[in-house]
Amino acid sequence: MISILQAKFRLFLRKPMLLIGMTVMSIVFALLLGAANYSSINVPIYTDINNIEETPLWKDLNKTQGFEFTLVTKDEAKKMVSEGDAEAAVKLEEDSYTIVIVTETSNLHLLDSYLQTFYGDILMKDKIKEATATSAHVDSNAILDELKEKEENPLFKIQTASFRGDDAVIIDNQLQTIFGFTLFFVIYTISYNVHNILQEKTWGVWDRMILSPLKKWEMYAGNLVYSFLMGYVQVALIFLVFRYAVGVEFYGGFGKTLIVLIPYVFSIVALALFLASIVKSTQQFNAIISLVSVSLSMLGGAYWPLEIVSSDFLLKVSDFVPIKHGMEGLKAATIYGASMSELLYPISILTLMGVVLIGIGINVMERKNT
C-alpha cells in the first residue's frame, strides 16, 4: 500500500493542477456568489418623531451591520414596499414599532427579531431608571454604564438549541456559500482520483500488479487512501483560506468543522467507488459523475439552504444524500454551536453511508472481473 501511495504522490507532484484548480474555483465561486449576500438589507423608515436622526434612538438603531435604515416619508415607504423596492418598511415610535409588508420573506423574521431585541433593551433601561428614581442610594446611570460594558461580554449567555427539532432557523449566507461550494467541488477532485482505479483496470494495469507481491486489498487501500487525502487537503485548505486570509470567524467552531469534513470526504470516496463499479467505461463514469454531483448538491442543500424547501418528498430524499448531512454537521458546528456529542449524529450517518457504499462498490467491481 505504501508503494502505491508513493507512486500516486509522485504523479501528483508532476500534475498538481487538478487539486489547485478545484481549490481556486471553490474559493472564487464562494467569494463572488457570496458577495451579493454579504451586503446589508435596505429598510425604509418613517416616523412622527421630530428630528429623529439627531436622537440616540436613531444612532443606536443603526449600530447593526445587517440592515441599512433609510428615513423616508410614509407614502414613500409604502410605495417602495408595494413596488418591490424593499421587502418591508418600519414605522418607528418611541417605545414600539410597526412593520409594513406585502408578502412574508425570510429576512422579515430577522428584522422583527432585531427590532424586538432593540426595543427590549430600551424598555429595560427605562424600567431601571423608573425603579431607581425614588432611591437616593442607587445610581441608575452607573447601572446603565455597567450594562453597556457587559453587552459585548455578558456574564451569562442563555441559548437553547436542538440539532434537529427547533423551529428557529438561522441562515448565514456567507457560510452557506462557503460550505456549499466546497462540498460540491471536492466531489470532482475525489471522483477523478477514484476514476484512476477504473482506468487502470481497463488498461490491464491491475492484472500485472497482481503478479507482484502486492495484495489486492493493498491496491484498493492505496488508491482510496490517496483519494481521501487529496479530497481532505482540498476542503481543509479552502477553510483555512477563508478563516485566516478572508477573516471568516466560523462562530468559533473552526476546529470542529475540520472533524466533520473527515466522514464527509470518506463518504464521497465511497460514493465515487460505487459509481465506478456500476459503469462499463471511463466515458460513462465521466458523464454520470457530473449528473450525480449536480443533483446531489441541489438535493443536499449546497446551492440553497434546505430550510427554504417546502416539499416533504424532496426533504425525505435528501436524507440519503451525503451533502445534506455534511452541510448539517458544518452548520451545527458553527452557526448553532453544537458540541461534539451532538455532531455524532451527522458523523455517524456519513460514516455508515461510506462503509455501505464502499462495501457494495468493491463487491460489485470484483464480481465484474470474475
Q: What is the DSSP string of 271-301?
A: HHHHHHHH-SSHHHHHHHHHHHHHHHHHHHT
Cβ-based neighbour number of residue 51 at 10 Å: 7
Q: CA-to-CA distance for 15 and 164, rounded, in angstroms?
A: 43
Q: Which residue's entry shows cell 456500476?
A: 278
3-class secondary structure, 230: helix
Partners of 238 in the β-ladder: none
Q: Which CATH code, of 3.30.559, 1.10.3470, 3.40.190, 2.60.460, is assigned to 42-150? A: 3.40.190
Residue ranges, CATH 3.40.190, the chain: 42-150
- Tell me the three cell numbers of residue 68: 441599512
pLDDT of residue 325: 93
Going by C-beta distance under 8 Å and a sequence separation of 6 or more, which residues neighbour residue 143? 128, 132
Q: What is the pLDDT of residue 155?
A: 44
Give residue 126's pLDDT: 62
According to the model, what pLDDT value does residue 328 have? 92
pTM: 0.67
Q: What is the pLDDT of residue 127?
A: 64
- Enumerate residues 6+ apart whose C-beta is below 8 A from 205: none
* Dist CA 99 CA 149 (whole Å): 30
Q: Which residues contact 300 (CB under 8 A, 6 or more apart)?
A: 183, 306, 318, 321, 322, 323, 324, 326, 327
The DSSP 8-state label assigned to residue 101 in this structure reads: E
Amino acid identity for residue 315 in this structure? L
DSSP string computed for 47-87: ESSTTGGGSHHHHHHTT-SSEEEEE--HHHHHHHHHTTS-S
The closest alpha carbon to 260, from 323, 319, 318, belongs to 323
Listed in sequence order, the residues at least 6 apart from 45 whose beta carbon sits closer than 8 Å to its beta carbon are 69, 70, 71, 72, 77, 89, 90, 91, 92
Cα–Cα distances in angstroms (integers) from residue 256 to residues 217, 329, 341, 349, in the given order? 31, 9, 11, 17
pLDDT of residue 117: 76
| pLDDT tens-digit profile, the chain (370 residues) | 676 777 677 777 787 787 788 788 878 877 776 554 545 577 888 888 888 888 888 888 877 656 778 888 888 888 888 887 888 888 888 778 888 887 776 667 777 777 877 777 776 666 666 666 555 555 555 555 555 554 545 444 434 333 444 445 566 778 888 898 899 988 988 888 887 777 766 666 655 655 566 677 777 787 888 889 988 999 999 999 888 888 888 888 899 999 999 999 999 999 999 998 888 888 888 889 889 999 998 898 888 888 777 788 888 988 999 999 999 999 999 888 888 898 999 999 999 999 999 999 888 877 876 5
Report, in angstroms and rounded to the nearest whole number, the Rg of the chain calculated over CA atoms.
Answer: 27
Give the bridge partners for 71, in sequence order.
45
What sign for the dihedral angle of Cα 241, 244, 247, 252?
positive
